[in-house]
Structure 1
Amino acid sequence: MNQQPLSNQKIDATIAAFIQWHIDHEKVDPLDRIYLTNKLLELLKKKELSDPESSNELFHESSHLTMLDDLVEYAVEVELIEDSASARDVFGAKIMDVVTPRPSEVNNRFWQLYAKNQQLATNDFYTFSEESNYIKTREIAKNIEYTHPTEYGDLEITINLSKPEKDPKKIAAAKQTQYSYPVNALCMENEGYAGHESHAGRSNHRIIRLEVAGEPWGFQYSPYAYYNEHAIFLSEEHRGMNVGERAIKNLLDILTILPHYFVGSNAGLPIVGGSILSHDHYQGGQHTFALERAEMEETFQLKDLPQVKAGLVKWPMSVIRLSSKDQSAMEQAAKKVMETWDEYDDPSVDIQAYTGTTPHNAVTPIARMREDQFELDLVLRNNRTTQQYPDGLFHPHPEVQHIKKENIGLIEVMGLAILPPRLERELAEVKAFLMGEVETVDPIHQPWADTLKEPAENLSSEQIDLLIQQSVGDIFLKVLKDAGVFKRTEKGQSAFLDFVERLKTV
Structure 2
Amino acid sequence: MTIDQTIQQLINECIHRGMIEPMDEVYVRNQILSLLHLEGFSIDESEFVEKHEDDDPDLIIPSLLEEIIQYAVKHNVIEDFLDAKEILSANVMNCFLASPSIINQKFYEKYSVSPKGATDYFYTSSKNSNYIQMNRIKKNIVYKAPTEYGELDITINLSKPEKDPKQIAKERMAPKTTGYPVCLLCKENEGYAGRIGHPARSNHRMIRLNIRGEEWFLQYSPYVYYNEHCIVLSKEHRNMLISRETFGRLLDFVEYFPHYFIGSNADLPIVGGSILSHDHYQGGRYDFPMALAKEENPFTVVDFPNVSCSIVKWPMSVIRIRGSKKEELIELADRILGHWKSYSDPEVDILAYTGDTPHNTITPIARIRNGQYEMDLVLRNNRTSDAHPLGIFHPHADVHHIKKENIGLIEVMGLAVLPARLKNELVEVEKFLLDEPNEVADYHLEWAEQLKQKYAGRVDTENVEEFVRLEVGNKFLRVLMDAGVFKRDEQGKAAFRTFIQSLNKK
Give the TM-score range, shorter chain: over 0.9
| Contact 1:12 1:52 (8 Å CA) reproduced | no
1:182-216 Cα offsets, whole Å, 9 max, x none, are 11001111111111221111110110110011100
2:169 is the counterpart of 1:177: no
State the secondary structure of the residue aligned to 1:252: helix
| Contact 2:186 2:235 (8 Å CA) reproduced | yes
State the secondary structure of the residue aligned to 1:133: coil
Q: What CA distance in whole angstroms lies between the structure 2 residues aligned with 1:328 and 1:168?
A: 54
1:424-470 Cα offsets, whole Å, 9 max, x none, are 01111111111112366211000000011131445211211111111
Q: Which residue of 1 aligns with 2:427?
A: 428
2:485 is the counterpart of 1:485: yes
2:23 is the counterpart of 1:19: no
2:145 is the counterpart of 1:148: yes
1:30-84 Cα offsets, whole Å, 9 max, x none, are 1111111111111111111123646742466883332221111111111111112
Q: Which residue of 2 aligns with 1:266?
A: 265
Specify which of 93, 108, 118 is matched with residue 105 of structure 2. 108
Of 365-374 and 66-75, deviating more is: 66-75
State the secondary structure of the residue aligned to 1:472: helix
Q: Which residue of 2 aligns with 1:326?
A: 325
2:130 is the counterpart of 1:133: yes
Give the counterpart letter for 2:19 in structure 1: K
| Contact 1:311 1:322 (8 Å CA) reproduced | yes
| Contact 1:17 1:55 (8 Å CA) reproduced | no
| Contact 1:232 1:284 (8 Å CA) reproduced | yes
State the secondary structure of the residue aligned to 2:361: strand
2:277 is the counterpart of 1:278: yes
The correspondence of residues 42-121 of structure 1 with structure 2, limited to 5 A, is: 42-51=34-43, 53=45, 56-58=48-50, 63-121=60-118
Q: What CA distance in whole angstroms lies between the structure 1 residues aligned with 2:389 and 2:266?
A: 19
2:501 is the counterpart of 1:495: no
Q: What CA distance in whole angstroms lies between the structure 2 residues aligned with 1:368 and 1:499?
A: 25
Q: Which residue of 2 aligns with 1:413?
A: 412
Q: Which residue of 2 aligns with 1:6?
A: none
2:153 is the counterpart of 1:161: no
2:29 is the counterpart of 1:29: no
| Contact 1:96 1:204 (8 Å CA) reproduced | yes
Give the counterpart letter for 1:443 in structure 2: D
User: In the TM superposition, what is the alpha-carbon distance from 1:376 to its structure 2 partner?
Assistant: 0.3
RMSD (CA atoms): 1.6
| Contact 2:81 2:166 (8 Å CA) reproduced | no
Q: Which residue of 1 aligns with 2:2?
A: 10
Q: What CA distance in whole angstroms lies between the structure 1 residues aligned with 2:366 and 2:46?
A: 53
User: In the TM superposition, what is the alpha-carbon distance from 1:246 to its structure 2 partner?
Assistant: 1.3
Q: What CA distance in whole angstroms lies between the structure 2 residues aligned with 1:169 and 1:267?
A: 36
Give the counterpart letter for 1:27 in structure 2: M
2:173 is the counterpart of 1:192: no
User: In the TM superposition, what is the alpha-carbon distance from 1:242 to its structure 2 partner?
Assistant: 1.2
User: In the TM superposition, what is the alpha-carbon distance from 1:177 to its structure 2 partner?
Assistant: 3.0
| Contact 2:83 2:167 (8 Å CA) reproduced | no
User: In the TM superposition, what is the alpha-carbon distance from 1:178 to its structure 2 partner?
Assistant: 2.9
1:212-260 Cα offsets, whole Å, 9 max, x none, are 1110000010010000000000001111111111111110111111111
Distance 1:275 1:55, change over 3 A: farther
2:294 is the counterpart of 1:295: yes
Q: Which residue of 1 aligns with 2:32?
A: 40
Q: What CA distance in whole angstroms lies between the structure 1 residues aligned with 2:229 and 2:390?
A: 28
Q: What CA distance in whole angstroms lies between the structure 1 residues aligned with 2:61 and 2:160?
A: 21
Distance 1:426 1:59, change over 3 A: closer
Of 79-88 and 433-442, deviating more is: 433-442
| Contact 2:299 2:308 (8 Å CA) reproduced | yes
1:142-190 Cα offsets, whole Å, 9 max, x none, are 1111111111111111111111112366346425533301110011111
Q: Which residue of 1 aligns with 2:385?
A: 386
Distance 1:224 1:257, change over 3 A: same
Q: What CA distance in whole angstroms lies between the structure 1 residues aligned with 2:458 and 2:437?
A: 16
State the secondary structure of the residue aligned to 2:442: coil
Distance 1:173 1:85, change over 3 A: closer
Q: What CA distance in whole angstroms lies between the structure 2 residues aligned with 1:324 and 1:491?
A: 30
The correspondence of residues 449-488 of structure 1 with structure 2, limited to 5 A, is: 449-454=448-453, 455-457=455-457, 459-488=459-488
Q: What CA distance in whole angstroms lies between the structure 1 residues aligned with 2:221 and 2:425?
A: 27
Q: What CA distance in whole angstroms lies between the structure 2 residues aligned with 1:19 and 1:440?
A: 47
Distance 1:329 1:75, change over 3 A: same
User: In the TM superposition, what is the alpha-carbon distance from 1:101 to its structure 2 partner?
Assistant: 1.5
Q: What CA distance in whole angstroms lies between the structure 2 residues aligned with 1:392 and 1:65?
A: 41
Give the counterpart letter for 1:228 in structure 2: N
User: In the TM superposition, what is the alpha-carbon distance from 1:340 to its structure 2 partner?
Assistant: 0.4
TM-score of the pair, normalised by structure 1 = 0.95
Distance 1:75 1:55, change over 3 A: farther
Give the counterpart letter for 2:414 in structure 1: G
Runs of 5+ in structure 1 lacking a partner?
1-8
Q: Which residue of 1 aligns with 2:444?
A: 445
Runs of 5+ in structure 2 lacking a partner?
none
The correspondence of residues 170-249 of structure 1 with structure 2, limited to 5 A, is: 170-171=167-168, 173-174=170-171, 177-179=175-177, 180-249=179-248
Give the counterpart letter for 1:469 in structure 2: R
Of 458-467 and 173-182, deviating more is: 173-182
| Contact 1:13 1:54 (8 Å CA) reproduced | no
Give the counterpart letter for 1:51 in structure 2: I
Sequence identity of aligned pairs in percent? 50
Give the total of aligned pairs.
498
1:291-312 Cα offsets, whole Å, 9 max, x none, are 1111221111112122211111
Q: What CA distance in whole angstroms lies between the structure 2 residues aligned with 1:456 and 1:103?
A: 60
Distance 1:157 1:377, change over 3 A: same
Q: What CA distance in whole angstroms lies between the structure 1 residues aligned with 2:153 and 2:213?
A: 36
| Contact 1:365 1:378 (8 Å CA) reproduced | yes
Q: What CA distance in whole angstroms lies between the structure 1 residues aligned with 2:505 and 2:316?
A: 24
